[in-house]
Each structure stands twice: as C-alpha cells, then as structure tokens.
Structure 1
Amino acid sequence: MTNHINTLSQRQLKSVQTRNKLLGAARKVFIDQGFQKTTITQIIKDAELGYGTAYVHFKNKDDILIALIEDVMNQFYKIADLPFRPTTKDEAERTIRKQVGSFLELAKQEQRILAVVEEAIGQSPIVQAKWNDIRERFVEGIAKDITYSQENNLAYPDVDPLLAGKGWFYSNEMFLWEITKRDGKMNLEDIVHNLTTMYVRGLYK
C-alpha cells in the first residue's frame, strides 16, 4: 500500500513538473513570437518533451495561454481581494489609491505576457471568453466594495454598484493595455492620482 502511494506521488510530481516545463517554454515562445506566430509544436520543442506527453496536459496553444493567464491573474486577484472596510472617505481613497497603484505596477511587470494576451483576445474566441470571465470577477468585487461604501454612508446611494463597477474596471483595464504598449514610458503616479481622484470624487460623499 505504501509503495502504491509513493508511486502515485511520484507520478503526480512528474506530471506537475512536466506541466510547469510546458508553461515555462510557452511563456518564452509566446513573448518572443507573439500569439499568432506561436505554434504548439514550437512550445513542445522548446520544452524538450514528446508530443504525446504535451497533449496530456493541454489541447492546443489557446489552452496553454489560458493557463498562463490564470497564473498571472492570480497575482491581480490578490490585490483586488484585499480587505476593503474603510470608515471614512479619506481611508477609502487611500485604500483605492494603493490598489490602483499595485494593479498598474503589476501590469508593468507583466507587460510582455499581457501584450500576448491582448493580441490573443482579438484572435481566439476561447481566450476572449476567458478574459470576459476575468472582467466579470473583477466587476463583481468592485460592486461589492461600492455596496459596502453605500451601506456605510460613504458613497452616494443612487449609484448602481454594478454599472459603476464596470466603469471603474474598464478605466483601469484601458490603462493596463496602454502600459503594455508604451514599454514603461507612462508615468504611473500620474495615472494612479487621476484615476483615483475621479473615481472617489464621483462616487464618495
């Protein structure tokens, strides 16, 4: 029984290592070649794995990119999911400013793979659907924070949390893509200041 468990553990470990090897190779190839020019054959070759082994883990290059997107977005989710329980407008503004700064700074750090994602959104229905799911998760979280602020008499009650949440996320998303295109030439502090100021003054009392 013990040997059986050890064998399973070794197999599982090898499977994880193989998957990670594929993802590491894929990230490199996608960044070097872009989404359209990348082929799963290139990724498999770069990972130095057999075709059969690779297809156990992923169906195609779209599937591989989605796995990379999930890895990157988990970092963004950690920022978005930070506790939001301000008791004053000033506290809300400080928290929002910090979140926006962290969000856009992370976009700058991950700009090369995000550029691939942006390209893929326009070419792959599967990747586009994945990105729409990501948008919804962010919007729902923002709407929840807005509802909290309204319930605690910090934000105007006549604002629809979901619509405001969409507007807020799309504003941040716009600059996320701008950052991926400008190769770090945008002033993040200016963007964070203006985004936060417009949002807080428009929503909070």
Structure 2
Amino acid sequence: MASSRKQKAIETRERLVKAGEAIFLEQGFQKTTIAQIIKKAETGYGTAYVYFKNKDELLIELMQTMMNFFYQVSELSFEPSTKEEAKELIVYQTKEFLSLAISYKSLMQVIKEAIGYSNAVEDQWTSIRLRFIEGITNDITYAQTQGLVAKDINPHYAAKSWFYTNEMFMWEFVCSKEKDDLDVVINTITDMYINGLYE
C-alpha cells in the first residue's frame, strides 16, 4: 500500500509539472494561474497544494530540472596546461551553454518574464547565477596555480564579469528577434576574455 501511494504521489506531481509547463509556454508567467494548472492536471485543489502552493514554486521546479543540464556543462573538468587549451575548453563550454539556452528558448522566456514579477523566481535565479560564478571562480583559481593567469587577478570578480557577459548574450539569443551569429559571438567574447585574463 505504501509503495502504491508513493507511486501515485509521483504521478500526481509529474502531471502537475507537465500541466504547468504546458500552460506557462502557452500563456506566459503572468497570465498563468495555479487554478488553470490544477484543472489541466485533472487533480484536486487540496492534492495539488500538497506539492506546490503557487505557480512560482512550480516554475522553480521546472527551472531546477532544466538547469541541471546547464550545470553539467559548467562543471566539466577544467584543467588546462596552456592558454590554447584553456581557450578550447572555454569555447566549448560557452557554445554548449548558449546552445542549451536557445534549445530551451520558450521556457527561458517564461523565466525571464517571471524574474520581473516573482521574488521567489528572482531569488532562485540569483542562486543559479551564484553557482555558475563559483564554478568559474574555481576555474580561474586553477589557471592561476598553473601560471596561466596573473596572481594579482581577483578570481571572483573576473568570474562575475565573464558570467554576466554570457548571461547578457544568453538573454539576447532567447528574447531578441535579431539573429546574431552564435559562433561569431562566442569567438569574439572568448577572445576578449582569454586575452584579457590569460598570459
């Protein structure tokens, strides 16, 4: 019985998440209501609120699931022994990062909208941003131990500047109607970053 109840709970939660994603993508964050999600998931209000108290929590669940793919890219091994190796790794990570954002374009647009209206979603995005910056900081610190980056460079602030550059272009690719060339953007910003940071 316990196993059956657990399975039913998992299925109910999945239905709510799928329903929430469908309505968010169709209507955007502001126009979506938790009542619409519950109706589409064909579950009761009392049951639904056991899992998500509002649409903000449900979107955060979707964000976390999506961001796991981004984390896999950002947390790839980074142990270059030369400036050229560092550039090759950074180009690869940057392309994977921006390509993932483009592949999740519709959901990313919902998140961008939600950041302006939901403190909970904004806090979640801040947490995501800090995790990326911490990873980049560690990479720069490693490069310093290898003599590839000057010791007087502050790894944290260098990491913040690199992440914010990527984040800006990410939102442009996701939200702008203009079609910038992905490879040109990646090569340009990576050259600026590498030449400004690596010796």
Task: Name the TM-score, length of structure 1 as normaliser.
Answer: 0.94
Q: Is 1:73 equivalent to 2:67 in the alignment?
A: yes
The corresponding residue for 2:189 is 195
Secondary structure of the corresponding residue to residue 185 of structure 1: coil
Amino acid at match of 1:61: K
1:155 CA drift (Å) = 1.0
Aligned residue among 157, 160, 164 for 2:158: 164
The corresponding residue for 1:35 is 29
Q: Is 1:143 equivalent to 2:137 in the alignment?
A: yes
Distance, in Å, in 2 between the alignment partners of 1:65 and 1:12 is 23
Residue deviations 1:62-85, cap 9 Å, x none? 010110110111110000010101
Secondary structure of the corresponding residue to residue 112 of structure 2: helix
Distance, in Å, in 2 between the alignment partners of 1:182 and 1:8 is 49
Amino acid at match of 1:22: L
Q: Is 1:93 equivalent to 2:87 in the alignment?
A: yes
The corresponding residue for 1:153 is 147
The corresponding residue for 2:39 is 45
The corresponding residue for 1:127 is 121
Task: Quote the RMSD (CA, aligned, Å).
Answer: 1.1
1:164 CA drift (Å) = 0.6
Amino acid at match of 2:185: I
- What runs of 5+ residues in structure 2 fail to find an aligned partner? none
Q: How many residue pairs end up in the alignment?
A: 199
The corresponding residue for 1:4 is none
Amino acid at match of 1:113: L
1:10 CA drift (Å) = 2.0
Residue deviations 1:4-30, cap 9 Å, x none? xxx222222221111111111111101
Distance, in Å, in 1 between the alignment partners of 2:149 and 2:187 is 19
Consecutive aligned runs of 4 or more in structure 1 exceeding 6 Å deviation: none
Aligned residue among 168, 171, 174 for 1:174: 168
Distance, in Å, in 1 between the alignment partners of 2:189 and 2:118 is 30
Distance, in Å, in 1 between the alignment partners of 2:88 and 2:95 is 11
- Percentage identity across aligned positions? 48
1:183 CA drift (Å) = 5.4
Amino acid at match of 2:72: K
Distance, in Å, in 2 between the alignment partners of 1:21 and 1:14 is 11
The corresponding residue for 2:100 is 106
- What runs of 5+ residues in structure 1 fail to find an aligned partner? 1-6
The corresponding residue for 1:3 is none
Distance, in Å, in 2 between the alignment partners of 1:183 and 1:44 is 33
